[in-house]
A and B are shown apart, each in its own frame.
Chain A
Amino acid sequence: MPLEIAVASGKGGVGKSTVSSTLALYLSKHGYDVIAVDADADAPNLHLVLEVGEWEQEERFSDAWVSEIDYTRCTNCGVCAEVCPYEAVSFTNGRYVINPVICEGCLTCALACPEKAIRRKRVERGVIRLAKTRYGFPLWTAELMPGRPNTGKLVTEIKNRAKAMAGKDTVIVVDSAAGIGCQVISSLAGANAAILVAEPTPASLSDLRRVHTIAKQFLLPSALVINKYDINPGYVDKILEYAKEENIDVIGMIPYDDHVPRAAAEMKPLVELYPDSPAAKALLEIARRVEETIIRNWREWARRHMPRKPVHYTPIVIKPPQLG
């Protein structure tokens, strides 16, 4: 089976794409069969870093629904506008109109409409794309339309596409979205290892704990990269302390380096454009460690950093009122 590495952080903007693109580049240059997956369909940008000229394959992903009014039946009674939980129906130019961006396709209006004048239609959620990066390896990515929520299904879909073209020694690098929502859960589900990225700030540590809780629930062994460690050195110990408590493998620290935003502005990978910059050196060392300790000795590494036990999740349960 291919090895799947998910890069996640909880907090946004801490360096997930920089870490995942460097890892994919490094592994590809060292003879690995690599597939990159950008699992952040809200704000995909791995293709910008990895220099994608054109898409090899582009496919509409239509699994969302919206309601639509059949005006040959509509009597302008306004029930739909009253019942819509999302306030997606407004009275415009003498008739009721459903705003397809706000509509969630819940069908409350269709159930309530006395004239049965509302039907559901499929709409596009976004686009799934495949490209060959300038560095030779493929990249799967997806882009959502504004107002269409990201879903674990979409992430699963592109991860499955990557798996379908993977050989048994392929390494799949998944760049997850920020947050701990459905799409991040799907990025971590089925992966073999998580690489978590954090900055030495309270916000980043708080989000790291949250995303790591999900990694633990999936019994994922985790590694940690501390980015911009020198911007707030006093707080690094707090992050390291958490990693130690949780048996997370700290695989490197990256200094603050303004070559990083400069490379981003040039739309080129940092390690290609400024390979001798301090951040690039640290990133390459991290990639080397991932290759040596995680990929080449996955079983041993996973055994050592396996979460002891999945944390028990306390569900929020909403129960219907008891009858009788």
Chain B
Amino acid sequence: MPKIAIASENGGGLDDVVASRFARAPKFTIIELDDKGNIVGVKIIDNPGAQATGGAAIKAIQALINEGVDLVIGPAFGPNAQAVLAEMNIRNMTLPAGTRIRDALEAAKKELGLG
């Protein structure tokens, strides 16, 4: 069952919006879907990258890998983020900052060919 992580601007969750930056976003909203695209679970995690003095993207993506995420969504991915996403072969997509998480989820479902 696919898991989607969305960089979230405020406290995270389905009512939040996509953050203005990925690696130093305060929270990630992680949404687990079933094979039909229905929400099975929503989890909010602190982004360790937000507190990193350097290499923020590396710490952020490590945390997402630990969560077993299949698709990562952010407003854009910086140099470190792109390097790690490519190296680890993690699927990712960009959506403008301020996009509602619910709308981002619909876009993610399309990307994954669900629903």
Contact = CB atoms under 8 A, between A and B. Distances in A.
B24 A313 contact: no
A296 B5 CA distance: 34
B52 A153 contact: yes
B98 A1 contact: yes
A214 interface: yes
Interface stretch (A49-57, A183-191, A225-233, A251-259): A183-191
Contacts of A186: 24
Nearest to B98: A1
A63 interface: yes
Contact of A189 (B24, B82, B98): B24
A156 interface: yes
**Which of the listed residues A63, A64, A149, A152 has the most CB atoms from chain B within 10 Å of its own CB?**
A152
A218 B51 CA distance: 20
B60 to A, nearest CB: 12
Contacts of A190: 20-21, 75, 97
B53 interface: yes
A312 interface: yes
Interface string B91-112: 0001001100000000000000
Given A217-B76, A218-B76, A313-B86, A189 B21 contact: yes
A94 interface: no
A152 B54 contact: yes
> Does more than half of chain B's interface fall in helix, strand or loop, or is it mixed?
loop
* B interface residue count range (under 10 / 10 to 19 / 20 to 34 / 35 or more): 20 to 34
Interface in A31-66: 63-64
Given A63-B53, A190-B75, A313 B82 contact: yes
A20 to B, nearest CB: 20
A315 B78 contact: no
A219 interface: yes
A189 B25 CA distance: 11
> Does more than half of chain A's interface fall in helix, strand or loop, or is it mixed?
loop
B91 to A, nearest CB: 15
B86 A312 contact: yes
A164 to B, nearest CB: 12
Interface string A1-26: 10000000000000000000000000
A317 interface: yes
Contacts of A152: 24, 53-54, 56
Contacts of A220: 76
Contact of B53 (A1, A153, A310, A313): A153
A185 B52 CA distance: 14
B113 to A, nearest CB: 22
A310 B82 contact: yes
Interface string A178-198: 000010011001100000000
A313 B87 contact: no
A151 interface: yes
A266 B87 CA distance: 52
B86 to A, nearest CB: 7
Contact of B78 (A63, A156, A185): A185
Interface string B16-46: 0000111110000000000000000000000
Interface string A68-110: 0000000000000000000000000000000000000000000
A315 B97 contact: no
A315 B83 contact: yes
Interface of B: 20-24, 50-54, 56, 75-80, 82-84, 86-87, 94, 97-98
27 contacts: A149-B54, A151-B53, A152-B24, A152-B54, A153-B52, A153-B54, A156-B50, A182-B54, A185-B78, A186-B24, A189-B23, A189-B24, A189-B78, A190-B21, A213-B79, A214-B78, A219-B75, A220-B76, A310-B76, A310-B82, A313-B79, A314-B83, A315-B83, A315-B84, A315-B86, A317-B83, A317-B87
Given A152-B54, A153-B24, A312-B86, 4 more contacts: A153-B54, A310-B76, A310-B82, A313-B86
Enumerate the 7 nearest inter-chain pairs by beta-carbon distance, A residue then B residue, closest first. Answer: A315-B83, A190-B20, A190-B21, A151-B53, A189-B21, A219-B76, A313-B82
